[in-house]
Each structure stands twice: as structure tokens, then as C-alpha cells.
């Protein structure tokens, strides 16, 4: 089996960041942006993913945070440090690479702003490509933990790879802050160095169920899941929260990498549901919704944060129209979108804001004088501050004190 080695280190400075922006992977597309800062799609359909409403964990509407209150990675410009190194681990290539790239590019923006403002404290970030594969993630975990210069990790990105590597990071005393891994069980493993930068699937799943049966009035919902830790975990919560509205006769499982969904489409069509909930990633969601529409299924298609990326719209085209997509992440405000686009050459996508905010927190730790993993851990545990997207304060398990869910619609 081919084994991909860890990506080389990357210093994000003024010139380096701009150079990388010119040659970075644009796999999530370079689509348009609406006034709220949501990434669009460059597909011929002209469809974009647009935010609709921000809800709390109880399903109640809340106002978006003011970006003017967010922590600034530039700080006061007086920071001094030496050999300051962070790392990022996630899918940077592969079928779902856009999700990992979104996080990395958010981190690049925070680092660029910090390093430009603080000439006496240039922070380096090392990239490690997992391809979103738990087995490949374990291959890069060793190089990460054995590198004593790395004092904080942004990632891993997916739940499966986090589950496979978390114990190793925890044992090494390395704080690892995920911008996207949402499986609830991750914070039940006794890890003391793990922090989740968004709500877990318990909060997302419950809100999804309330939205489908409440605002959309769905009385029969088919729940379809893929075979990843993320897909299985989220589907379980959604199914339980839907109660009698979840139709067991059309629940189904699909596999990562699957492209032919004809059997599942026939099963769903026979049940005539009001809505379909898909728990998985955009690489499968796009062909799935395309085949649903080609097969004459008109039920509302809905899915979570694994699908909520411009690549879904780009690949599904017109079949994605009116899809409901949820995410325990939030869209960036206009100023953030402008800065992100200027550096990365594309608009932010799902988890870009979280990647930026979590990197900012670790940069603030370094600026405060933190020089090792123990210091970083203490700083993050005690942190309580506003980010671009939300307030960051964690409980003793590494869960956010207040999880927010954004409802999006493709249109």
C-alpha cells in the first residue's frame, strides 16, 4: 500500500503566505460570495449556499456575533518568541480535500495577520495530510507527536481520524483543537488535551430534527448514512430525535466512495417521504442527490456539515437546488471574507472561520509567552473569548459552552 509521508513544514510569513495563496489547491472552487460571507459555487447552475437562520442547541433563533469583538491574531504587534511552531492535520488531498483546505486557509489568514504585525515573533505551521483516512492519519501522528517543537495542533479534521489518533496526541500532552470533528463520543474518551471548536452531532442532530419536522413540516423522513464515524454518529442522533417521523422502511446505509445509488433511490421512491436526511460527505452526497432527482424523487434533500461545501453544489449542479444544509459552524462576516479571499484566492468555506479562530487562540497563547505544550494546554483550558464566529470557552471535556447551528439553503 502506498504510504503518504507527512507534508513538509511551511513558514507562513508575508511573502510565503502570498506565494502559497497563488499555488494552493482550489478544490473547493472560487465561487461568488453573498453579503453575509457565505461561499458560493462556480458551477454552471449559478447556485450558492446561503445562510438562513442561526439557532442555539434548543432550536431557538439567535443573533450572529459581532465580528468587531473578535480576538485579533495580530495582537498589539509587540510579541516576541523564537521557534514557535504549530501544526495542522487533515484531508489536504483526496475526495473531501476541500474541507481540510478550508481549515488550513483559515489558519493561513490568522498566521499571515499575526506574522505581519509581529516581526519579532514569526510562527511556523507544519502541514500533515491525512487524506481524511484514519489509517493514514495514524501514519502522521507519530511525526507530529515526536516533534517537540510542535506545541499545538489544529485538527485532526474528521471524526474517524481523530478517533484513531486522539489517544496518541493526548498521551504526548499535545493540545489538539479540531475545527470540524463532530462525533459526540470523542469527548467521552478521557482525553484531557482535546478541544472541539464547534458543536457536536448531538446538538446538530437534535436541531436538524426539530427544523425538519417543525419549520419544514416533514412527517416522514428517510435517514441515509455513510460508513464513517461521522456519518453513523450523526444519523443515530437525527433518527432518535426524529422519533416517529423517521421511517425505518427507507433508512439505508451507503459506503464511502460509492457512486451508484440506484437501489437506495428505488427504496426511497417507494416510501414517498417528505424529506431525506443524508449523513455523510459531499463526495457521495452530490451523486446521490443527482440520482434522486433523476429518479423522480422530489422530497426535500437535507444534509449536515460534511456536505455543506461549494463542491457539493459544483458537483451536483441543478440537483442541489433547495437542499437544506446544516452546520455547527458559522459564515464569516464581510470583512473576514474580503481578507480571506485576498490571501487565498477564493472565498471561505465550511470550517474556514473555525480554522481561523482556533489558530488565533493558539497564537494568543504564544504571544502571552507560552513556549511548550503544557503552557498551551493551560492557556486553552482557561480561555474565554469572542471569535469571528462564536464565543470560545470549553468545559472539562473539551466541549464548547454554547453550541450554535446555522441552517443553510442552496438557491
Q: For each of the chain's 411 residues, which pLDDT tens digit applies?
A: 333 333 333 333 323 332 323 322 322 322 222 323 344 434 457 999 999 998 887 788 887 765 568 999 999 999 999 989 999 999 999 988 999 999 999 999 999 999 999 999 999 999 999 999 999 999 999 999 999 999 999 999 999 999 999 999 999 999 999 999 999 999 999 999 999 999 999 989 999 999 999 999 999 999 999 999 999 999 999 999 999 999 999 999 999 999 999 999 999 999 999 999 999 999 999 999 999 999 999 999 999 999 998 899 999 999 999 999 999 888 888 899 999 999 999 999 889 999 999 999 999 999 999 999 999 999 999 999 999 978 999 999 999 988 889 999 999
Unique residue bearing C-alpha cell 484531557? 192
Cis peptide before 156 (omega within 30 of 0): yes
pTM above 0.95, yes or no: no
Tell me how far apart the alpha carbons of residues 361 and 71 are, in angstroms, rounded to a whole number: 8
Q: Which of 17, 97, 109 is nearest to 356 (CA)?
A: 109
In 132-283, the DSSP E strands lie at 150-154, 176-178, 194-196, 221-225, 252-253, 275-279
CB 365 within 8 A of CB 380: yes
For position 69, what pLDDT does the model report?
Answer: 82
For position 248, what pLDDT does the model report?
Answer: 97
Distances (CA, A) of 404 to 238, 263, 291: 16, 35, 32
For position 216, what pLDDT does the model report?
Answer: 94
For position 44, what pLDDT does the model report?
Answer: 55
Tell me how far apart the alpha carbons of residues 260 and 66 are, in angstroms, rounded to a whole number: 44
For position 404, what pLDDT does the model report?
Answer: 86
For position 331, what pLDDT does the model report?
Answer: 84
User: Which of left, alpha, beta for 4 (phi over 0: left; psi -120 to 50: alpha)?
Assistant: beta
CB atoms within 10 A of CB 235: 24
For position 68, what pLDDT does the model report?
Answer: 66
Please, what are the domains in the chain? 9-31+65-199+331-402 (3.40.50.2300), 202-327 (3.40.50.2300)
For position 286, what pLDDT does the model report?
Answer: 97
Tell me how far apart the alpha carbons of residues 355 and 169 are, in angstroms, rounded to a whole number: 19
Unique residue bearing C-alpha cell 454518529? 233
- Strand-pairing partners, residue 11, are 124
Amino acid at each position: 500500500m502506498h504510504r503518504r509521508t507527512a507534508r513538509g513544514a511551511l513558514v507562513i510569513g508575508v511573502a510565503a503566505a502570498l506565494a502559497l495563496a497563488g499555488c494552493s489547491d482550489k478544490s473547493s472552487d472560487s465561487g461568488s460570495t453573498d453579503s453575509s460571507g457565505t461561499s458560493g459555487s462556480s458551477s454552471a447552475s449559478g447556485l450558492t449556499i446561503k445562510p438562513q437562520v442561526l439557532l442555539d442547541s434548543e432550536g431557538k433563533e439567535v443573533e450572529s456575533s459581532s465580528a468587531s469583538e473578535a480576538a485579533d491574531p495580530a495582537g498589539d504587534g509587540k510579541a516576541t518568541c523564537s521557534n514557535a511552531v504549530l501544526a495542522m492535520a487533515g484531508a489536504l488531498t483526496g475526495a473531501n480535500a476541500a474541507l481540510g483546505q478550508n481549515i488550513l486557509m483559515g489558519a493561513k489568514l490568522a498566521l499571515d495577520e499575526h506574522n505581519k504585525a509581529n516581526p519579532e515573533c514569526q510562527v511556523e505551521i507544519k502541514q500533515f495530510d491525512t487524506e481524511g483516512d484514519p489509517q493514514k492519519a495514524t501514519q502522521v501522528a507519530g511525526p507530529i507527536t515526536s516533534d517537540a517543537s510542535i506545541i499545538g495542533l489544529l485538527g485532526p479534521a474528521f471524526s474517524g481520524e481523530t478517533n484513531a489518533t486522539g489517544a496518541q496526541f493526548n498521551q504526548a500532552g499535545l493540545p489538539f483543537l479540531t475545527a470540524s470533528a463532530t462525533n459526540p463520543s470523542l469527548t467521552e474518551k478521557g482525553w484531557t488535551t482535546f478541544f472541539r471548536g464547534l458543536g457536536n452531532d448531538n446538538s446538530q442532530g437534535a436541531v436538524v430534527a426539530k427544523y425538519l419536522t417543525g419549520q419544514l413540516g416533514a412527517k416522514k423522513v428517510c435517514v441515509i448514512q455513510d460508513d464513517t464515524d461521522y456519518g453513523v454518529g450523526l444519523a443515530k442522533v437525527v433518527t432518535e430525535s426524529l422519533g416517529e417521523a423517521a421511517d425505518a422502511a427507507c433508512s439505508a446505509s451507503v459506503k464511502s466512495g460509492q457512486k451508484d445509488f440506484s437501489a437506495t433511490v428505488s427504496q426511497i421512491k417507494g416510501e414517498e417521504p417528505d424529506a431525506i436526511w443524508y449523513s455523510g460527505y459531499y463526495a457521495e452526497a452530490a451523486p446521490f442527490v443527482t440520482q434522486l432527482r433523476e429518479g423522480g424523487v422530489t422530497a426535500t434533500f437535507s444534509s449536515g456539515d460534511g456536505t455543506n461545501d461549494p463542491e457539493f453544489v459544483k458537483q451536483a449542479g441543478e440537483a442541489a437546488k433547495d437542499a437544506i444544509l446544516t452546520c455547527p459552524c458559522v459564515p464569516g462576516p464581510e470583512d473576514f471574507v474580503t481578507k480571506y479571499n485576498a490571501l487565498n484566492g477564493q472565498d471561505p468555506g465550511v470550517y474556514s472561520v473555525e480554522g481561523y479562530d482556533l489558530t488565533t487562540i493558539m497564537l494568543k497563547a504564544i504571544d502571552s509567552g507560552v513556549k511548550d505544550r503544557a503552557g498551551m494546554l493551560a492557556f486553552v483550558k482557561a480561555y474565554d473569548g469572542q471569535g469571528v464566529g462564536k464565543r470560545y470557552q470549553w468545559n472539562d471535556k473539551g466541549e464548547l459552552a454554547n453550541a450554535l447551528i446555522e441552517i443553510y439553503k442552496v438557491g
